[in-house]
Amino acid sequence: EHPASRSLVFCCSISHADFVRAWLRQQGVRVAAVYSGVNSDDRDQSVRDLANGNLDALCAVDVFNEGIDLPFVDTLLLLRPTSSATVFLQQLGRGLRLDEGKPTCLVLDFIGQHRREFRFDGLLTAMTGIPRGRLQKAVEDDFPSLPPGCHVHLDRVARDRVLAGLRESIG
């Protein structure tokens, strides 16, 4: 039987991944960390363990952005800042693959606006397909025009910050 969730945690550096792995283990989470370095857990074995339920989470540093299909991943933790809509969408894509028995993918973005000059319009347009000129209304109305089964939820603080950023960048 598989665990309630199988998570992919995107970290920004090897030391960050080691820290997150150690912290999650202290919380009782079965977790591995994969990156190019001597303290990395074995990549292939870690993926198999996550797939078969022997791991709950896998911390990654620059190894799962593209070129791998992990359809069983149902939770993404974004702990790595990026200004690149492409990198963000690649990371998001790791959880959006269809898999039997996986009705949703939970994406927890712990970074969000890591710099004041961050442009939400580029990211949201790339993610939703909504043109820049209609983004503010879409955020205000909780993204009503997304395809069936798709939902973007922003808590109150995040929503206010996104709207402020859109007003500043779009005008």
Residue-wise pLDDT tens digits, 64-84:
766 788 889 999 898 887 767
pTM value is: 0.72
The percent of residues above 70 in pLDDT, for the chain, comes to 91
Tell me the backbone φ, ψ of residue 43, rounded to 5 degrees. -60, -55
Q: How many CA atoms lie within 13 A of 164 on its CB side?
A: 10
In the structure, what pLDDT confidence band is assigned to residue 2 with cuts at 50, 70 and 90?
Answer: very low
User: CA separation (Å) from 105 to 41, 75, 77?
Assistant: 25, 5, 11
86-131 confidence digits (pLDDT tens):
777 787 778 778 788 888 888 887 775 555 666 778 778 877 888 8
